[in-house]
């Protein structure tokens, strides 16, 4: 997302200088909170231009620094705390109030101290993050960058601008000091402010002669509870810039150094204006490199920063204010693309994923708890209950399946059955046939053979009627006996089915036994009882010959009569008539057939039962699916939740993978770190050597410089001496000339005197010398007399 540069215009009240003689005429009129119009004070404040200038905010003289800060700078300062680069700068003509706005006064702090306050207050109220704040303060004076908070000896040094591989511009050797409290930061600000170049001009008693950039570098990261876990670090630069004011030499009255400074100021502001125009016109090439100011502010203008410009104007000025407002209008259309500057380590990334997963879980939990939660919970409980029942049923069904298979195998597959079938023919020994005939005669199943067998139960639907009586139709005539043959679903469900079936068989056979043991008057029965008819009943028919032996009569003398069972003492005697034997045989064969039929019915019944159970399972599964469908209808978010669960699961898998990768990475990092350490040590050694070399070079250069200085001084002295010699020679020559001239004129004078006295010249010369000597003696005597007088006075 791109942000327009925020532009605010601040009109300061007229100051004493402007109102020295008379109230200053005011040429600007503010309408509303964001427009300003030029008016003509000489013409009853008539609006000069039809269209007013519109900005994000226009502050009249009644607004204080805090208002300007809150409306324009605060959002930028606060977003710097969240990782966005930010720049606030004050632009305007000299004496329009830029420094007043940025620095303020003791009782009315400006944007920089307010930002410092704001930053520490926010840090105080953000306990879950930790911050590191560094500060630098530089000025651009006459196109030279210097450090305002560096030590005294380094302060005058001109710093250069460099660009790193990512395209970020930085100033080399600029001191960045870490600060941990508001007071320290304010102290640094004051220190820098003191070192700024200021000067007196006609327009301002304390005119800033340089552009100053107060920069705070804010690093922050979430406070981690786990030791050693690195969080993502956000790094942002907050630039608070107080520009020097454009000035008109004729107005400022600048001369000498002030004039030179003014030239640099105007030139760099012109470059800034050009960059702003190029950016607002969307030009491809922007001349950032033409001045140090635009180069340093490159990111803040059309780059990765949130920027605000506060244009300060004086209500009394016209031309300069129009120029400022034009600059402001152009700046308003510039768009920046600010992004959070974050340095994310893999560990931090992982932690972030984990947090996202945690949030997802929490959301899911929250959704569960919201309005539909109760309904959903009910359905879920129903489903759980249903699922539990289904599981129970499935377990039972499986159990039954196994049992059924186990219990049906010997009957259907083992040769024993065949054996039995074979035996059936031998089973109806004449005695038993007789016994059966006589003992079974009064019983109903003697006339209705089917009653003896297990009929396929008329099973009611499984779920509706759980009680199943397999033997209910065994016989209506002997209810007490037959009731023993009944099995219920409880039996079915809780007991081993083979036992159930065996119980059924036992019951049936017990019926038979009862029948056989019926106290009906019968000789055979009596005989049979005497001979102790023995039913060897096993849970299932024997599968091997040994077991088959259990079915035999106790008499070892009848090995051929092995069969399903045989009756001791029912052997035919030689006296038994043949037709009786035949009839018994017939009856027993019939019985065997009935048994056989019963067995096959039972097997069929078991198969049906298995089929039925399968169907039942299908019905249950369908109903389970239907319920899930209903549940989905009740909770339309269920799919979303499922997909959330799925993505949660995926994310956890990803997390595990990433953890693995991280471990590998950290291992290789460790190795790399180790190597890096070595390289660092090597570098340090090299660095020390280089440092020594640099120091030596430095010393050499200094010595060389001194030597050169001295040499040049020597040259200079020599030159001077030559000059002096020449001058002396000239003077001596002149003196000689003078002396010659004097001697000649003296000679002339002596000649004239001799001619006048009509004597010779030697006489005149001698008298002249006598005079000179006498004058000398006279001055010596008067000096002695003065000295004597002085002594007498003391």
Q: What is the DSSP letter of 637?
A: T
Give the x/- contact pattern for ligand ATP in 39-78, rule: CB under 6 A: ----------------------------------------
Among residues 8, 52, 86, 92, the one that binds ligand ATP under rule CB under 6 A: 92
109 beta partners? 104
Distance between CA atoms of residues 645 and 642, nearest Å: 5
Q: Which two tokens stand for residue 712?
A: 């040049």
Distance between CA atoms of residues 386 and 627, nearest Å: 9
Residue 97 as a binder of ligand ATP (CB under 6 A): the answer is yes
Among residues 79, 202, 207, 294, the one that binds ligand ATP under rule CB under 6 A: 207
Its sign, for the CA torsion 41, 43, 45, 49, is: negative
412 annotated to bind ligand: no
Nearest of 73, 68, 119, 118 to residue 97 by alpha carbon = 68
CA–centroid distance for 117 within its chain? 28
Q: Which two tokens stand for residue 44?
A: 């009853």
Q: How far is the CB of 658 from ligand ATP (least distance, A)?
A: 54
Q: What is the DSSP letter of 519?
A: -
Q: How far is the CB of 44 from ligand ATP (least distance, A)?
A: 27
Which of these segments, 91-99, 451-459, 518-526, 639-647, binds ligand ATP (CB under 6 A)?
A: 91-99
Q: How far is the CB of 692 from ligand ATP (least distance, A)?
A: 45
Which of these segments, 200-208, 317-325, 505-513, 565-573, binds ligand ATP (CB under 6 A)?
A: 200-208
Which of these segments, 9-17, 80-88, 584-592, 754-762, binds ligand ATP (CB under 6 A)?
A: 9-17
Which of these segments, 8-16, 50-58, 419-427, 526-534, binds ligand ATP (CB under 6 A)?
A: 8-16
CA distances from 409 to 252, 304, 537, 695 (A): 120, 84, 18, 103
Give the x/- contact pattern for ligand ATP in 99-128, rule: CB under 6 A: xx----------------------------
Q: What is the DSSP letter of 72?
A: I
**Which one, 196 or 292, has the nearer CB to ligand ATP?**
196
302 annotated to bind ligand: no
Q: Which residues contact 397 (CB under 8 A, 6 or more apart)?
A: 613, 616, 617
Nearest of 455, 481, 480, 477 to residue 468 by alpha carbon = 455
**Which one, 321 or 478, has the nearer CB to ligand ATP?**
321
β-strands 46-47, 211-222 pairing = unpaired
β-strands 144-147, 342-343 pairing = unpaired
Indicate the SS3 state at residue 340.
coil
Distance between CA atoms of residues 366 and 358, nearest Å: 12
Q: How many CB atoms lie within 10 A of CB 175?
A: 19
408 annotated to bind ligand: no
Restricted to residues 306-325, the positions that interact with ligand ATP (CB under 6 A) are 312
558 annotated to bind ligand: no
Residue 268 as a binder of ligand ATP (CB under 6 A): the answer is no
Q: How far is the CB of 15 from ligand ATP (least distance, A)?
A: 5
CA distances from 335 to 79, 101, 304 (A): 17, 24, 10
Give the x/- contact pattern for ligand ATP in 208-247, rule: CB under 6 A: x-----------------------------------xx--
481 annotated to bind ligand: no
Which of these segments, 95-103, 121-129, 597-605, 774-782, binds ligand ATP (CB under 6 A)?
A: 95-103
**Which one, 88 or 379, has the nearer CB to ligand ATP?**
88
Judge contact between 376 and 364, C-beta under 8 A. no
Element housing 211 (H / E): strand 211-222
563 annotated to bind ligand: no
CA–centroid distance for 97 within its chain? 42
Residue 95 as a binder of ligand ATP (CB under 6 A): the answer is yes
Which of these segments, 11-19, 348-356, 645-653, 693-701, binds ligand ATP (CB under 6 A)?
A: 11-19
Backbone angles phi, psi at 673, to 5 degrees: -60, -40
Q: How many residues bind ligand ATP (CB under 6 A)?
A: 18
β-strands 35-40, 53-54 pairing = antiparallel
96 annotated to bind ligand: yes
Q: How far is the CB of 70 from ligand ATP (least distance, A)?
A: 15
Task: Kindly provide the b/e burial profile for residues 254-263, where b requires at least 16 CB atoms within 10 angstroms of the residue's own CB.
Answer: beeebeebbe
Q: How far is the CB of 326 from ligand ATP (least distance, A)?
A: 18
Which of these segments, 80-88, 201-209, 419-427, 638-646, binds ligand ATP (CB under 6 A)?
A: 201-209
Q: How far is the CB of 183 from ligand ATP (least distance, A)?
A: 24
Q: How many CB atoms lie within 10 A of CB 126?
A: 15
Among residues 6, 12, 338, 407, the one that binds ligand ATP under rule CB under 6 A: 12
Among residues 85, 87, 94, 540, the one that binds ligand ATP under rule CB under 6 A: 94
Place of tokens 């500057």: 341
**Which one, 312 or 570, has the nearer CB to ligand ATP?**
312
- The helices-and-strands tally (H runs, E runs) of the chain is 23, 20
In order, the DSSP letters of 404-446 are HHHHHHHHHTSHHHHHHHHHHHHH--HHHHHHHHHHHTTSHHH
**Which one, 311 or 435, has the nearer CB to ligand ATP?**
311
Q: How far is the CB of 664 from ligand ATP (least distance, A)?
A: 58
Judge contact between 644 and 358, C-beta under 8 A. no
Q: How far is the CB of 340 from ligand ATP (least distance, A)?
A: 33
**Which one, 99 or 268, has the nearer CB to ligand ATP?**
99
629 annotated to bind ligand: no
Among residues 79, 85, 118, 204, the one that binds ligand ATP under rule CB under 6 A: 204
Which of these segments, 12-20, 218-226, 339-347, 687-695, binds ligand ATP (CB under 6 A)?
A: 12-20
- Neighbour-count burial of 580, counting CB atoms closer than 10 A to its CB (0-12 exposed, 13-18 middle, 19+ buried): middle
Binding residues, as ranges, are 92-99
Contacts to ligand ATP by CB under 6 A:
12-13, 15, 92, 94-100, 204, 206-208, 244-245, 312
Binding residues for ATP, as ranges, are 92-99
């Amino acid at each position: 997302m791109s942000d327009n540069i925020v532009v605010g215009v601040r009109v300061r009240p007229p100051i004493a200088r402007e109102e020295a003689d008379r109230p200053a005429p005011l040429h600007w009129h503010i309408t509303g909170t964001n427009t300003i119009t030029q008016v003509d004070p000489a013409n009853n404040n008539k609006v000069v231009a039809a269209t007013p200038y519109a900005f994000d905010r226009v502050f009249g003289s009644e607004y204080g620094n805090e208002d300007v800060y809150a409306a324009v700078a605060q959002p930028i300062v606060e977003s710097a705390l969240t990782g966005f680069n930010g720049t606030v700068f004050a632009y305007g003509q000299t004496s329009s109030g830029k420094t007043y706005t940025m620095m303020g006064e003791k009782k009315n702090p400006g944007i920089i101290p307010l930002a410092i306050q704001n930053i520490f207050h926010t840090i105080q109220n953000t306990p879950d993050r930790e911050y590191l704040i560094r500060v630098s303060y530089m000025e651009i004076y006459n196109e030279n960058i210097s450090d305002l908070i560096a030590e005294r000896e380094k302060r005058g040094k001109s710093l250069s601008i460099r660009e790193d591989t990512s395209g970020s511009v930085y100033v080399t050797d600029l001191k960045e000091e870490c600060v941990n409290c508001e007071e320290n930061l304010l102290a640094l600000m004051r220190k820098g402010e003191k070192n700024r170049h200021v000067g007196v001009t006609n327009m301002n008693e304390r005119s800033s002669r340089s552009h100053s950039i107060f920069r705070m570098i804010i690093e922050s990261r979430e406070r981690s509870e786990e030791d050693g876990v690195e969080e993502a670090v956000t790094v942002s630069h907050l630039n608070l810039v107080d520009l020097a004011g454009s000035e008109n030499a004729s107005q400022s009255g600048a001369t000498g150094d002030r004039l030179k400074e003014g030239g640099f100021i105007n030139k760099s502001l012109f470059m800034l204006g050009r960059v702003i125009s190029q950016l607002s016109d969307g030009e491809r090439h922007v001349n950032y490199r033409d001045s140090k100011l635009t180069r340093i502010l490159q990111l803040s203008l059309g780059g990765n920063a949130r920027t605000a410009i506060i244009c300060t104007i004086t209500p009394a000025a016209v031309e300069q204010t129009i120029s400022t407002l034009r600059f402001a209008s152009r700046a308003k259309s510039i768009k920046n693309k600010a992004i959070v500057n974050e340095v994310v380590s893999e560990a931090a990334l992982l932690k972030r994923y984990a947090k996202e997963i945690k949030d997802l879980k929490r959301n899911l939990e929250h959704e569960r708890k919201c309005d539909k939660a109760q309904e959903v919970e009910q359905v879920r409980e129903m489903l759980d209950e249903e699922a539990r029942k289904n599981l129970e049923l499935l377990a039972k069904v499986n159990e039954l399946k196994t049992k059924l298979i186990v219990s049906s195998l010997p009957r259907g597959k083992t040769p024993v059955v065949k054996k039995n079938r074979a035996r059936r023919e031998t089973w109806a020994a004449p005695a038993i046939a007789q016994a059966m005939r006589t003992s079974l005669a009064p019983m109903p199943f003697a006339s209705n053979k089917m009653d003896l067998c297990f009929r396929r139960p008329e099973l009611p639907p499984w779920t509706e009627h759980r009680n199943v009586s397999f033997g209910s139709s065994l016989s209506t005539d002997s209810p007490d006996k037959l009731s023993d043959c009944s099995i219920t679903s409880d039996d079915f469900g809780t007991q081993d089915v083979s036992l159930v079936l065996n119980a059924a068989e036992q019951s049936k056979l017990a019926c038979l036994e009862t029948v056989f043991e019926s106290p009906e008057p019968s000789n055979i029965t009596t005989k049979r009882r005497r001979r102790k008819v023995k039913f060897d009943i096993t849970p299932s028919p024997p599968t091997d010959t040994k077991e088959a032996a259990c079915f035999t009569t106790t008499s070892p003398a009848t090995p051929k009569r092995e069969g399903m069972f045989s009756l001791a003492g029912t052997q035919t005697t030689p006296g038994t008539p043949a037709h009786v034997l035949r009839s018994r045989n017939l009856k027993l064969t019939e019985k065997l057939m009935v048994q056989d039929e019963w067995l096959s019915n039972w097997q069929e019944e078991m198969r049906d039962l298995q089929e039925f159970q399968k169907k039942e399972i299908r019905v249950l599964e369908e109903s389970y699916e239907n319920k899930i469908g209903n549940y989905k209808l009740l909770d339309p978010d269920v799919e979303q939740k499922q997909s959330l669960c799925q993505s949660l699961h995926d994310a956890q898998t990803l997390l595990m993978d990433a953890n693995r990768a991280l471990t590998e990475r950290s291992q290789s990092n460790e190795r790399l770190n180790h190597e890096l350490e070595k390289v660092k040590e090597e570098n340090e050694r090299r660095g020390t050597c280089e440092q020594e070399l640099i120091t030596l070079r430095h010393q050499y250069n200094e010595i060389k410089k001194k030597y050169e200085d001295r040499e040049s001084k020597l040259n200079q002295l020599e030159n001077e001496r030559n000059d002096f010699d020449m001058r002396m020679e000239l003077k001596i020559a002149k003196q000689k000339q003078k002396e010659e001239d004097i001697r000649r004129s003296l000679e002339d004078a002596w000649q004239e005197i001799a001619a006048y006295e009509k004597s010779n010249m030697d006489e005149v010369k001698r008298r002249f010398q006598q005079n000179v000597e006498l004058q000398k003696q006279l001055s010596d005597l008067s000096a002695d007399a003065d000295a004597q007088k002085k002594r007498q006075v003391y």
